[in-house]
Each structure stands twice: as C-alpha cells, then as structure tokens.
Chain A
C-alpha cells in the first residue's frame, strides 16, 4: 500500500518531466526533415538517386517541407545524414555514446576528458565565487559603508557582457604568465559570485525584528548573532543561490574556452565542431555540458534537502 503510494508520487513528479521531454523530442524529430532536406537531396542526386525537381536551382524555390513532400523516399535519409544542419536525436546520442563510453578517458576525443577539463575550473571558480560572495554579503549586512558601496558595483559587474570580458581576462593573465585552469576559474567565479551575494544578503537579513530583539535581550554579540541566527536563517537562500551559481560557473568556464583557442574542454569541442563542419561533435558537447550542469544542480538539491532536513526545515 505504502509502496504503491510512493510509486504514485514518483510517477506524478516524473510524468510532467517526461511529457515535456517527449514534446521536445517530437518537435526535434519533425524538424530534422525540413532542416536537412536540401542537403540530403543534393547528396542523393550525386549518388544517382532520383530527385524531383532535378535542377538544384529549382530545388531552392521549395521550402524544406515542400521538397520533402515531393521526395518522400528521401525522408529517411535526413535522419542519418553525415553533416546535417540539424542532427537527429539518435545521431547525437550515438556520438555521445561513442565519445563518452567507447572512447578511453585518455583519448583526446573522449568527452569525459573534455568534461573534466571544463569541470575542474568550474568547481574551482565556483568555490572562489561562492566564498567571495558570502564574504561580500556578510560585509554588506554588517557594514553600512559596504552596503552603500559594494552592491551597485556588483550589479554593474553583471551588466558587462561576459563574452567581451572573457578574452580580455585570459589574454591579460596569459601575458602575465598565468595560464590553464586559473583564468577560466576567474571567469566562472565572476559569474557565480553575484547570485550568492544577492541570495546571502537577503538570507542574512531574513530574521525579523523580533528575533533580533530577542538576541538583544540576551546581550548577544554580533558574532554570536551571526552564528546562532543569521547564518542558519540564510541557509535556504544560500542553497537557491548555489544552484544558480554552479550552473553560472559552468557557463562561465565554457564561455572562457570559446574565444580563446582552448584546445580542450566542452567549449573547445563546440568550437571545433563548428569550424570543421562536424555538427555532431558540437551537439554532443552541448548536451554533455547540459547534463553536467543538471547533475551539478541535482547534487546541490540533494545536499540542500539533506541539510535542511537535518536542520528540521523543509526545502523550498
């Protein structure tokens, strides 16, 4: 009975997710045909297959859908084209399987290898960003001067396009001899400190006047108030921020890899795929990055749930 109910709950929470995934997959599958039809038709003609109309210029007059309706026999080929405009889901899955599971981790084509190259600076940057964010938030909450001065700059910092800033940082640090992990971590930290500052300031200020008055009646010091009241009260806010921050860190690292000629990492794979006409490589890296982000956010959700449960609170 109880097991059945638990199963029902799981089904209830998974069903909406599956429905959305199903809808996206369906849309994707349908889109593959018109997106690739012109390329497939050209290739088919070269291979000696019958194509209507058979003049390439005439085919340009038709939309992808129109062409597909006139060449129904070519439709299956759009799902297995080698250099598609839009790869089919199973092609991306196949590429991911090949580069994640079949390839040795030591191989330069292994996505696990590239994933680690991206993940390491992501985590380092996230820890730097989170630490900095928490310190700034504590400063803002306890110091009037910092409250007035830091927050506007924190907001301004996030209005600078990271795509413009990243190459500058990497180049400047590179000319100073700092290379590899650290410059990328810096970009990751730059993106992840902000949600932590905002969340922690709100969290540290979440105790109401009565709770602060209560500590005053105990003649508690600021330090005691911080550890006993403000910090625990800020936990739900902190976790919300951490989940945004870790995803932002990963994006920061990938962005740092993109314009700087990085040789490894998810960002490098996406770029290689684009530049050498291997869309499957780009797509596989894209999905691997998304899965990594989801796993990281999921991990923090889990830690959040365990922490709040231990604290006798419910996760938001």
Chain B
C-alpha cells in the first residue's frame, strides 16, 4: 500500500519532468583505459525550464547532452525524454539540436538549410514555406532566406542553425555551446535574443556552456559539473525573474549566483 503510493508519486513526478536521469553512468573504453565521462548523474528537467550545464572541459556536460539526444549510449542508469527512451524521443523528433558550429550546408541557401529537417520529415511544401518564414522571423533573419551561408556572419549563421532546430516545432531544444565560437559582443546579443525566443516559444532548453555569466544570465536552473569522473556537484535554482535585461548582470543577486557557480566549479577542482 505504502509502496504503491510512493510509486504513484514518483510516476506523477516523472510525468512532469521533460528529461529525467537516474543513476546515469557512461564509461568510454579508450586505448588508455576506461574514461568515466559520467558517473551517477541524477537530474530532473521540468517543462519550460532553461537549464545550463557548466563545468570545465571533460566534465561530461556535452556527453550528457548527447545522451539525451541518443547520440551516445549510457553504460548504466536510465534517462527518459518526454517519458520515453532517448532513442524513441529521437525517432519522435522530440528535440532540436544546436551544435557548437552552425554546420549549415554550403550548397543550400539559408531557407534551404532550414527546410532540410522539414524535407526529411516529409512536411508538405506549402507548410515548409510558412515555417521557414516564421522561424526566420523568430531569430531575426527575415529577408535572408535566399542568401547562402558564406554571405552571413558567424553570429547570423548560428542564428540560422537555431532557426533550423526550431523549424519542426520540437518542445525541447538541446544546445551544445552554440555561442562558444563567437565574440563577446555578438554573444551578449544572441543571449538576449535567445531569452526572448525562449519566452515566446515556451520551449524546454538544455544549454551547455563554459561561461559563468552566460549560464547565470540565461538559466532557471544551473547544473554545475566537475571532471574525472564527470558528475554533478551543484544544482542552482535561479531566483532571477523571467524578464532579464542585459544589465541584470550587475545586480547583487546575479553576482551572488555567479559566485556560487564559481565556488561549485572550484570545489569540483579541489576534489582531484
């Protein structure tokens, strides 16, 4: 009786979670022996969350994101995405993935690149055109549909790749250091735009970064990770309001969270 109740509570809890990881382990077998990319990772991501993963190189943040996307297979534990396995979620086209590089096809126009997933998913032509127009407007690239990627700046290319990930209307957006290769000014601008886009689309976003200000500025939840073995050392629920102008980064609340993230990163380092 008691057990059943607990089970029921757990079930409802899981239903509310868009992404849920329990006791997740991933070990890569390399020539230099096993590498523990992830060890005992537990995390719940709720509907509409903006979750940042921050940590030094090798802490498994990208690996974790790739596990959610079914691009890596865990060696232990369970992950569910939308209540099903990552593989099933991938086949349901449950998420859009944004890589560190824009990775636009040079032989397709911006519009053609955004149409790529729509063509693969067999969406009718008229609908494709409508969606391309809508997502281009979302990322502030209206009028660039017929341009080729090389005609756009790096920041614009990355925005086009976000539009591509948005085009098929997945509820989840997985972003792997999407602004890592861009300069500070462009990055600020894109962060601001990304927040607006998140507010408008109400998507659940998982965002990998190694910039503390970026993580604090964007997130409702900050997951601090540390390397060897990759694990979560701290999960910070951000008290910042949803409306965030860029100068919020100078407020004491912001600095306090940034401080806590830094402490978390340092603690992870001292463990070594």
* Interchain nearest-CB distance for A276 vs B (Å): 54
Indicate if the CB atoms of A220 and B107 lie closer than 8 Å.
no
Contact A213 B99 (CB under 8 A): yes
CB distance from B131 to the nearest CB of A (A): 14
Contacting pair A312 B101 (CB below 8 A): no
Query: A17 within 8 Å of B by Cβ?
Result: no
Give chain B nearest CB distance to A227 CB in angstroms: 10
Please indicate the chain A residues that have their CB under 8 angstroms from the CB of B95 in the complex: 217
- Among B115-123, B188-196, B235-243, the one that faces the other chain is B115-123
Interface residues of A in 129-146 (CB under 8 A from B): none
* Given A210-B103, A311-B107, A312-B107: A219 touches B71 (CB 8 Å cut-off): no
* Closest residue of B by beta carbon distance from A208: B103
Contact of A217 among B71, B107, B148 (CB under 8 A): B71
Contact of B107 among A213, A218, A224, A313 (CB under 8 A): A313
Please tell me if A173 contacts chain B, counting CB pairs below 8 Å: no
Chain A contacts for B71, CB-based, 8 A: 213, 216-217
Judge whether A117 is part of the interface by a CB distance below 8 angstroms.
Answer: no
Nearest CB on B from A175, distance (A):
49
Contact across chains for A218 and B103 when beta carbons are under 8 A apart: no
Residue from the set A211, A219, A229 with the largest chain B CB neighbour count within 10 Å:
A219
The interface residues of chain A lying within 8 Å CB-to-CB of B103 are 210-211, 214
Q: Once bound together, how far apart are the Cα atoms of A297 and B130, in whole Å?
A: 44
B93 adjacent to chain A (CB < 8 Å): yes
Q: Within the assembled complex, what's the spacing in Å between the Cα atoms of A224 and B118?
A: 12
The dominant DSSP class at the A interface is helix
Partner of A228, one of B90, B99, B120: B120
Contact of B108 among A213, A217, A218, A312 (CB under 8 A): A312
Asked if A216 contacts B90 (CB within 8 A), the reply is yes
B97 within 8 A of A: yes
Q: Are B106 and A218 in contact (CB under 8 A)?
A: no
Hey, which chain B residues are within 8 Å of A218, CB to CB? 93, 116-117, 120-121, 168
Q: Decide yes or no whether B150 CB sits under 8 A from chain A.
A: yes
Q: Which residue on chain B has the smallest CB distance to residue A224?
A: B120
CB-defined contacts of B101 to chain A, threshold 8 Å: 210
Judged by a CB distance under 8 angstroms, whether B105 is at the interface is: yes
CB contact under 8 A between A219 and B105, given known A213-B99, A228-B119, A312-B150: no
Q: Does chain B have a CB within 8 A of A232?
A: yes
Q: Would A217 and B120 count as touching, CB distance under 8 A? A: no
How many chain-B residues does the 8 Å CB contact rule pick out? Answer: 27
Complex partner residue of B106 from A213, A214, A217, A312, CB under 8 angstroms = A312
Q: Does A215 contact B (CB under 8 A)?
A: yes
Asked if B5 is at the interface (CB within 8 A of a chain A CB), the reply is no
| Interchain nearest-CB distance for B207 vs A (Å) | 16
Contact yes or no, B90 A219, CB < 8 A? yes
Chain A contacts for B150, CB-based, 8 A: 312
B127 shortest CB reach to chain A, Å: 16
Given A215-B120, A217-B69, A232–B99 Cβ distance below 8 Å?
A: no
* B107 to chain A: closest residue by CB: A311
Residues of chain B within 8 A (CB-CB) of A224 are 120
A312 to chain B, nearest CB (A): 4
**Cβ of A214 and Cβ of B97 under 8 Å apart?**
yes
* Known A214-B99, A224-B120, A312-B148: A219·B107 in contact at CB below 8 Å: no
Quick check: is B27 within 8 A (CB to CB) of the other chain? no
Does B109 count as interface, using CB distance less than 8 angstroms?
A: yes
Query: Which residue of B109, B121, B168 has the most chain A CB atoms within 10 A of its CB atom?
Result: B121
Question: Cβ of B69 and Cβ of A313 under 8 Å apart?
Answer: no
Among B96, B105, B109, B168, find the residue whose CB has the most chain A CB atoms closer than 10 A: B105
Query: How far in angstroms is the closest Cβ of chain A from B156?
Result: 15
In the complex, A216 Cα to B121 Cα: how many Å? 12
User: What residue in chain B is nearest A219 (Cβ atoms)?
Assistant: B91
Chain A to chain B contacts (Cβ below 8 Å), 24 pairs: A210-B99, A210-B101, A211-B103, A213-B97, A214-B97, A214-B103, A215-B120, A216-B71, A216-B90, A217-B95, A218-B117, A218-B121, A218-B168, A219-B90, A219-B120, A224-B120, A228-B116, A232-B105, A233-B107, A312-B106, A312-B108, A312-B109, A313-B106, A313-B107
List residues of chain A with CB under 8 Å of any chain B CB.
210-211, 213-220, 224, 228-229, 232-233, 235, 311-313
Q: 13 extra interchain contacts, Cβ-Cβ under 8 A, other than A215-B120, A218-B117, A311-B106?
A: A213-B99, A214-B97, A217-B97, A218-B116, A218-B121, A218-B168, A219-B91, A219-B93, A220-B120, A232-B105, A233-B105, A233-B107, A312-B149
Please report B residues at the A interface, Cβ cutoff 8 Å. 69-71, 90-91, 93, 95-97, 99-101, 103, 105-109, 116-117, 119-121, 148-150, 168
